[in-house]
């Protein structure tokens, strides 16, 4: 894959930029493997920690570093306690988990967006002892595409401990539902559990920031959310599995548990304080105070809810076909298949090759054969929309795709027939 291909991957899903922010934070606390990866990638503080318009203050950076170390090390302890044969890190980002687990006797599978894997895998593999490389696998996937996950995991030995740190906050409701269905199917086949740090991440941020900065944490939280949004270029925290701190917490928690049950899953709250080790970036006194604060916060261990039917609908593995007909300045397209992280770059490339040197006034897309569209696919539609005078019209939209458009607000942007 050349640089041009990588640019298309980045444009349809810029959320991978937040993974570099996390890696650099681990490096800043003195995590030696993270520092080695960061140096090989040539990362810098300004580019990794600041948004496009919002800069990170010293206070925000301090809270971010504590949050990152707490999450990274606590998740590591929970992985050990799960006692599973294979760790499936989704998304793995650029973190050094693969380096640290390579010689542990377990298998490690790092899954992430293709743009991340293309850049991270060769660097991380270069830092692993050659005799342990067989225990480590990296692959580019779309978490909403079961075919892409199954292809990587089918020959791996169970039980699995699937871990998720910093993914769900970027997913729409429909994407979260598809992810839950996919993980349910994987756990049905391989056994094990799914450990997720995301549901109570906002509460963890509040407890951490309040410990260091008192009531100023409210301003910091709003600014930090904006900075992450700028890095990812998506709305954050829109999923039912993200708990909203405050008076609505009980109802939000109930809604999340019900959402999981609808997808054949159940959750056990694992209190962060019970698993949190000492932090290398903080004094013993600060670590102790933080552990006390974390008695109110949990990560979730999710397992299969028995006696609930599993959805068996199969999708093609990222395949999409695009037919195009250009009449003057009017472009007619036909989509078939799925448009997700894996296929969206091809759709964007096809469109821009047609558009090159031409002014397109209007685009009409026949969607009768469009089985699914993720946020990456929606971003491609938005690029198309912004490049025209009269925008994009979608016809023959299936109910599940229409629901995605409605949940994300794109139904009011495009003309949906």
Partner residues linked to 252 by β-bridges: none
Task: Give helix 173-190 / helix 249-262 axis angle, nearest 10°.
Answer: 50
One domain, residues 111 and 202: yes
Q: Is residue 268 part of a domain?
A: yes
Q: Tell me: do 328 and 229 sit in the same domain.
A: no
**∠ at Cα 103 (97, 109), nearest 5°?**
45
Chosen domain end from 304, 339, 361 = 304
Dig out the tokens for 259 from the structure. 């959402």
Question: Residue 8 has what pLDDT?
Answer: 59
Residues 17 and 62 in one domain: yes
How many residues can be counted in the chain?
Answer: 417
Contact 152, 216 (CB under 8 A): no
Who wins on pLDDT, 408 or 195? 195
Boundaries of domain holding 408: 320-416
309 inside domain: no
**Prediction pTM value:** 0.79
- Which of residues 304, 337, 356 is at a domain's end? 304
User: 58 with 185, same domain?
Assistant: yes
Pair 283, 347 in one domain: no
- Within a domain: residue 315? no
Chain position carrying tokens 């604060």:
293
Structure tokens at 146: 């079961």
Residue identified by tokens 């756990």 is 187
What's the number of domains the chain is made of?
Answer: 2
Please report, for the domain that includes residue 181, its CATH number: 3.40.50.150
Confirm whether 57 is domain-assigned. yes
Distance, in Å, from the CA atom of 252 to the CA atom of 400, rounded to the nearest integer, reads 24
Q: Are residues 117 and 209 in the same domain?
A: yes
Same domain, residue pair 162 and 252: yes
- Is residue 67 assigned to a domain? yes
CB-CB contact of 76 with 89 (8 Å): no
Q: What is the pLDDT of residues 303-347, one digit of tens each?
A: 998 755 444 333 333 478 888 888 888 999 999 999 998 899 989
- Paired residues of 333 in beta bridges: 324, 365
Which of 277, 304, 331 is a domain's end point? 304
- Together in a domain, 381 and 238: no
Percent of the chain with pLDDT over 90: 58
Confidence of residue 18 (pLDDT cuts 50, 70, 90): confident
- pLDDT in the model for residue 218: 59
Based on the domain organization, do 255 and 372 belong to the same domain?
Answer: no
In a domain, residue 237? The reply is yes
Q: Once rounded to an integer, what is the mean pLDDT over residues 395-405? A: 93
Q: Are 401 and 410 spatial neighbours (Cβ–Cβ below 8 Å)?
A: no
Residue 314 belongs to some domain of the structure: no
Report which of 315, 242, 275, 292 is spatially closest to residue 82, judged by C-alpha positions. Answer: 275
Q: Is the peptide bond before 159 cis (omega within 30 degrees of 0)?
A: yes
- Pair (284, 326) in one structural domain: no
Statement to judge: residues 281 and 327 lie in one domain: no
Give the rounded percent of residues in the chain with a pLDDT score beyond 70: 84
Q: What is the pLDDT of residues 49-80, one digit of tens each?
A: 544 455 567 777 888 889 999 999 999 999 99
Cα within 13 Å of Cα(128), Cβ side: 25
Banded pLDDT at 46 (limits 50, 70, 90):
low
| Structure-block tokens of residue 88 | 């499936």
DSSP per residue, 330-394: EEEEEEEEEESTTTHHHHHHHHHHHHTT----EEEEEEEEEEEE-HHHHHHHHHHHHTSSS-EEE
Residue 30: what are its φ and ψ, rounded to 5°? 100, 10
Q: For residue 19, is it within any domain?
A: yes
pLDDT, tens digit (0-9, with 9 covering 90-100), for 134-183: 999 999 999 999 999 999 999 999 999 999 998 898 888 888 999 999 99
Is there a single domain that holds both residue 161 and residue 248? yes
91 prior amide bond cis, ω within 30: yes
Q: What is the CATH number of the domain that holds 369?
A: 3.30.750.24
């Amino acid at each position: 894959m050349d640089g041009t291909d990588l640019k298309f991957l980045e444009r349809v899903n810029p959320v991978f930029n937040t993974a570099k922010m996390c890696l650099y934070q681990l490096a800043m606390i003195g995590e030696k493997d993270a520092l080695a990866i960061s140096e090989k990638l040539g990362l810098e503080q300004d580019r990794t920690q600041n948004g496009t318009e919002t800069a990170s203050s010293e206070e925000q950076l301090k809270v971010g570093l504590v949050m990152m170390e707490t999450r990274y090390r606590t998740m590591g302890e929970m992985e050990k306690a799960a006692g599973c044969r294979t760790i499936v890190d989704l998304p793995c980002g650029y973190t050094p988990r693969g380096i640290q687990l390579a010689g542990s006797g377990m298998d490690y599978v790092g899954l992430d967006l293709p743009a991340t894997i293309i850049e991270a895998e060769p660097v991380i593999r270069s830092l692993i002892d050659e005799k342990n490389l067989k225990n480590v696998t990296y692959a580019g996937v779309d978490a909403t595409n079961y075919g892409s996950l199954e292809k990587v995991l089918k020959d791996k030995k169970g039980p699995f401990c699937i871990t998720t740190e910093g993914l769900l906050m970027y997913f729409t409701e429909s994407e979260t539902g598809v992810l839950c269905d996919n993980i349910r199917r994987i756990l049905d086949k391989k056994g094990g559990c799914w450990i997720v740090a995301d549901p109570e991440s906002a509460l963890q941020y509040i407890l951490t920031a309040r410990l260091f900065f008192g009531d100023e944490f409210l301003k910091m939280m709003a600014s930090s959310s904006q900075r992450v949004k700028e890095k990812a270029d998506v709305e954050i925290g829109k999923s039912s599995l993200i708990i909203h701190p405050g008076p609505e917490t009980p109802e939000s928690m109930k809604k999340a548990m019900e959402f999981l049950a609808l997808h054949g899953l159940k959750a056990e709250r694992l209190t962060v304080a019970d698993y949190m080790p000492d932090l290398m970036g903080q004094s013993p006194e600060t670590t102790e105070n933080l552990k006390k604060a974390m008695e109110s916060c949990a990560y979730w261990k999710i397992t299969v809810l028995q006696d609930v039917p599993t959805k068996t609908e199969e999708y093609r593995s990222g395949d999409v076909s695009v037919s195009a007909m250009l009449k003057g300045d009017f472009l007619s397209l036909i989509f078939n298949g799925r448009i997700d992280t894996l296929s969206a770059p091809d759709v964007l490339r096809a469109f821009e090759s047609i558009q090159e040197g031409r002014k397109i006034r209007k685009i009409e897309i026949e969607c009768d054969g469009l089985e699914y569209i993720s946020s990456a696919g929606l971003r491609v539609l938005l690029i198309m929309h912004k490049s025209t005078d009269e925008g994009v019209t979608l016809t023959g939209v299936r109910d599940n795709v229409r629901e995605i458009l409605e949940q994300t607000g794109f139904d009011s942007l495009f003309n949906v027939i």
